[in-house]
Chain A
Amino acid sequence: MLRPSSISELAEAIGTARASGQRLELRGGGSKAGIGQQRETTILSMQGFAGVIDYDPPELVLTAGAATPLAEIEALLAAQGQMLAFDPYDHGRLFGSAEAATLGGVIAAGVSGSRRLSAGAVRDHFLGFRAVSGRGEAFIGGAKVVKNVTGYDLPKLMANSWGRLAALTEVTLKVLPRPRASATIVLPGLSDEAAILAMAQAMGSQAEVAAAAHVPAALCNPALTALRLEGFAPSVQARTQMLLALFKPQGPDVLLEADSAALWDGIRHAAPLAGEGTLWRINVPPTAGAQVTQPLAAMGAYWLYDWAGGLIWLQLPPGADGLAVRAAASAAGGHAVLVRGDGGGLPILHPESPGVAALSARVKAAFDPDGILDPHRFG
C-alpha cells in the first residue's frame, strides 16, 4: 500500500505508477472497497490528507482534507447548527463493516441520501478541490466561494467519478443551516403505484417536502409512505397541517420524532435490504418507479423507494440475473448501479450509449491518459 502524505509525494507516486504501467486504487476509509469487481491492485491510501482546513460557518463553506472522516465533519457541522444538506450516508453500514466513509470518498462516489430530492446531490454542494490527476500533476478546480462560474465546473466532473480522473486531496463544500424543526407524515398501506402518486402529489404541493420514501408491504406491513418536512417550527407546523388535509382520505399520521430519525436512517442506508444476494441502486424518473420493480417481483426481488420514487434500492436473490435489472432501468430511461454482491461479471456501473461512452473515455483520457486510476474495478 502506498501512503503519500504530501501533494508532492502523491504526484510522485502517481508519476511512478504511470511510468511503470502500474494501476492504482485510491482508498480513503475503505468503506466502499466491497464495491466493484474482484481485482488485484496496488492501494493508494489517501489517509495522509485528513483534517479540517477552514470552516467559517456564516460563509457556508467548509474546506477539509479529502480523507477526513465523514462522521467527524458531520459532528463539527452539527455543533454549529449546520449540515451537509445532500444527506450523505456511510457505505460501511451497507457492508456491515467497521470501515468508515471519508469526505473525499462520499464525493467521488456521489453519495447522496434522502434529502437529495429537495436539496440537491453532492455535486450541487461540491465547490472546489485540490487534486493530483492521473498525469501525476497537481491542479485545482472550482473555488472556495458559494457562487462561481470561472472556467469549467471541474468539481461536477470529479463528483461521482469514482476516483478515475484524479486523487482529491482537499475539498471545499457548501454547508447549510440544519433545520430547526422537522416532522414526518406517514400514509399507511398504500400500493407502490398509489404511493408514487401520493409522493408526486406531495412534491407538487406547497408543503416543500424535504424527503419522500415508500417501504412496500413486503418489507414493512402495513406499507409505509413517509413525507418529511423540515424548517422553522411555525413553518413545519403549517405544512404538516397542509399535508394532513391533502391526504385525509389516506388516513395520515404524524410520526414521533424519535421514530422518524430511525426510519430515515434506515431508508438512507437501505437497512431493510440487508440480506444475501445483490443490492442495486436504481435511478429513474420518479413516476417510473413501479414500472421498474414490477417485472422483477417474479424473480424474488425486494425493494424500497426514496426520492419520491426516483431512487429504488432493490435486492435480488443470489444467482438471479442482474441483466433484468439493467433492462428494467433502461426501459424507464434510467440506470442501475450494482452496489453489493456478486453480479456474475456484470460491470457495477450501467453501460452508457456508445456516443456518451466514447466521449466519457476521451474525457477520462484527458485526466488519466494511461489509465492508471482504473484498477479493473468498474468492468
Chain B
Amino acid sequence: MEMPAPDMAVMARRSEIIAALRAIIPGEGVISDPASLRPWESDGLTAYAQVPLVVALPENTAQVAAVLRWCNANGVKVVPRGSGTSLSGGALPLADGVLLGLSRLNQVLDIDYADRVAVVQPGVTNLAITQAVEERGFYYAPDPSSQIACSIGGNVAENSGGVHCLKYGLTTNNVLGVELVLIDGEIVRLGGRQLDPQGLDLLGIVIGSEGLLGVVTEVTVRILPRPETARAVLLGFPSVESAGQCVAEVIGAGIIPAGMEMMDRPAIHAAEAFVNVGYPLDVEALLIVELDGPSAECDYLIDEVAKIAAANGAVTSRVSTNEAERLSFWAGRKAAFPAVGRISPDYFCMDGTIPRRRLPDVLQRMEQLSLAYGLKVANVFHAGDGNLHPLILYDANKPGELAQAEAFGADILRLCVEVGGVLTGEHGVGVEKRDLMPAMFSETDLAHQERVKSAFDPGLLLNPGKVFPLLHRCAEMGRVHVHHGKLPFPELPRF
C-alpha cells in the first residue's frame, strides 16, 4: 500500500500552516510537536502509519469552516478524523496534510422524543447517543462493535453497520440530516427532521463517502423505543452448509432476526479460549440468532427458529433464559477479534459481502487460498446479510508476511466480487481496498463517482489517497489515463 508522494512545497510551509491554524483555533487545539503527533499516526487499521503534518482540533463549526477555507485557499490537504477507529484506514494521516479531529465537537444538542430524533455533534460516540436517550426507553439502533469509542461523525463517513443492521439498517437508514462544511468553508444543511429529501438526496451520497466530500459538524439521527425484550438462541451445526441452510430457511419463513451471526470452527475455538462462555467445541459452525420485540413475539419466534435449526441438523440448541445468558452468548462473538489477536501476533480483518447462497463455495475456496498462502484464517459473519469477516492471521515481524497477508486478503475480496458480492459491507474502502476498486467497477463507473467528488471538492483536497485507486483518473480530469487497468509504465513505482 502506497500513499501519494507528499508535496515537498507544502511540507516546507509547515510553520506557516501551523501559525494559520493557531490563528483560527485558540488554546491547545493545534498539535505540532513531534512527540505529541505520534499517537495520531494510525487509525484502527494499525498496519499502516503516517505521522500527520499537524493536527487541528476545532471546537465549533465556525472553526471547522475557517480551517477548511484556509486550507482550500492554500492548497493544503485535509484528512477528517472522528475517533480514529476505522478498520480500512479511512483516517490514515498524510505527511503533507492537516489531520482535522472532530472529537471536541462532542455535545448532544437536542433530543426530541415526540419527533423521535436526537441532534448531536459529530464527536459524540455512538453509544453516548443511546445513553443520552435511554432514560426514556429509547436507543440509537446502529451498533458497530466499536460503539463505545467510535463517533457518530465517523459512522456517517463510513456508513457504519453493526450486528443489528439486518433488521434496523445501517447509519444511512437512521440519519435524517447533517450540517456539512464544504472544502471552501461553505456550511450547508442536508435533510432535517423530516423523512424525505427535498431535491437530490445529497445526504444519501454524503453518508458513506469516507470523508471525501465534506466535514460533518452536526448529525440528526432517528431514535427508536427500545424493544420490550430480546432473547437469543445459540445453535451448533456439524457443517457450514447446514448452518447456511438454516439461515436461508429462517429468512424464508418470514423471520428477520434482530441479529444473526455465524462463526466457523477456528473462530469458535479462539473465542471460547478467550472468554469461556460455553460455546460448543465439537461443531463446525455456530449461529447466534437474536429476536427482539414483545415477549409474546420472542417466545413464538424462538420456537420457530429452534424448529428450523433442528430440521437442519443442529447438534446444539440453547435458548437464553435471562439477560445475563443472552449477553454471554454474544460475549464470545463480540470478543472474536481480540480473541484471534491472542492466538496470532497480527491479523487483518476483511469485510466482503456475498450472496448468502454462495457461502459454502466461498469458504471452501478461502481454505484453498489459506493453504496456498500458508496463513491461517478464522471466519465470523453477519450471516443474515452475507457480510463476511475473514480474519487473516500473520506475523508482521516475519519478513514478507504482511505483504502475503495483504495479497491473501485481496484474493478473498476478488473472490467475493466474482461470486456476485462486494469488496466491503461495512468497513469502507479507505486505503485498504482502494486499489481493488477496479475489480468491481469499470473505469467509466469510477469516473461517474469521481465526478461527484469533484462537484463537492474540485481541488481534491479532502482525504486524498482514499477510496479511489491512486492512478485511476479519467483523461478529461487532466490526469493519468489507465486503460483496462494497464499502466503506461508498469515497471515504474506507484506514487
* Chain A positions near chain B (C-beta within 8 angstroms): 56-61, 81, 110, 112, 116-117, 120-121, 123-124, 133, 137-141, 143-154, 156-157, 159-161, 164-165, 176-180, 197, 200, 203-206, 208, 231-232, 234-235, 237-239, 242, 283-287, 307, 310-311, 333-335, 349-350, 352-353, 355-357, 359-360, 362-367
Contacts and interface: CB of A to CB of B under 8 A. Distances in A.
18 contacts: A58-B248, A110-B201, A121-B196, A147-B170, A147-B426, A148-B422, A149-B158, A149-B208, A151-B441, A156-B172, A157-B452, A206-B228, A234-B297, A239-B294, A242-B294, A349-B198, A350-B198, A366-B452
B420 A144 contact: yes
A236 to B, nearest CB: 9
Contacts of B121: none
Contacts of A149: 158-159, 161, 170, 208, 424-429
Contact of A310 (B166, B194, B249): B194
B20 interface: no
Pairs of residues from A and B, 7 with the lowest C-beta to C-beta distance, nearest first: A156-B204, A235-B297, A177-B254, A366-B451, A285-B193, A238-B296, A362-B455
Contact of A153 (B138, B159, B294, B423): B159
A139 B251 CA distance: 32
B194 A333 contact: yes
Interface string B92-136: 000000000000000000001111110000000000000000000
Nearest to B426: A149
B188 interface: yes
Contacts of A285: 112, 115, 117, 192-194
Contacts of A146: 166, 353, 385-386
Interface stretch (B25-33, B442-450, B481-489): B442-450
B448 A237 contact: no
Contacts of B354: 145
A178 B254 contact: yes
Contact of B205 (A121, A147, A154): A154
Contacts of B301: 232
Contacts of A58: 248-249, 251-252, 356-357
A58 B255 CA distance: 11
B360 interface: no
A350 B172 CA distance: 23
B294 A206 contact: yes
A355 B226 CA distance: 37
Contacts of A143: 353, 421-422, 440
Contacts of B456: 359, 362-363
Nearest to B355: A59
Contacts of B189: 353, 356
B254 A141 contact: no
Interface string B283-320: 00000000001111101110000000000000000000
How extensive is the interface on chain B, given as a class?
A: 35 or more
Interface centre among B173, B182, B196 (most CB of A within 10 A): B196
Contact of A124 (B173, B295, B467): B173
A153 B424 contact: no
Contact of A283 (B166, B196, B382): B196
Nearest to B455: A362
B225 interface: yes
B8 interface: no
Contacts of B197: 110, 123, 160
B190 interface: yes
Interface centre among A116, A149, A284 (most CB of B within 10 A): A149
Given A147-B353, A150-B440, A157 B159 contact: no
Given A161-B200, A335-B194, A353-B188, A205 B297 contact: no
Given A145-B354, A149-B208, A363 B202 contact: yes
Contacts of B3: none
A285 B114 CA distance: 10
Given A145-B353, A149-B424, A123 B114 contact: no
B252 A237 contact: no
A274 B213 CA distance: 43
A367 B426 CA distance: 26
B205 A145 contact: no
Contact of B208 (A152, A176, A237): A152
Given A57-B252, A149-B425, A364 B200 contact: yes
A11 to B, nearest CB: 10
Contact of A334 (B194, B252, B422, B467): B194
A360 B202 contact: yes
A356 B188 contact: yes
Contacts of A231: 293, 297
A153 B444 contact: no
Given A58-B251, A150-B440, A286-B115, A356 B296 contact: no
B423 to A, nearest CB: 5
Given A147-B353, A147-B387, A367 B448 contact: yes
Contacts of B112: 285, 287
Interface in B165-209: 165-166, 169-170, 172-173, 182, 186-190, 192-205, 207-209
B294 A238 contact: yes
Given A59-B357, A149-B159, A235 B296 contact: yes
B454 interface: yes
B178 to A, nearest CB: 12
A90 to B, nearest CB: 18
Interface centre among A59, A152, A204, A286 (most CB of B within 10 A): A152
A57 B179 CA distance: 39
B437 interface: yes
A124 B169 CA distance: 8
A143 B385 CA distance: 13
Contacts of A359: 182, 188, 202, 455-456
Contacts of A307: 195
A286 B114 contact: yes
Nearest to B436: A150
A357 B199 CA distance: 9
Contacts of A283: 194-196, 198
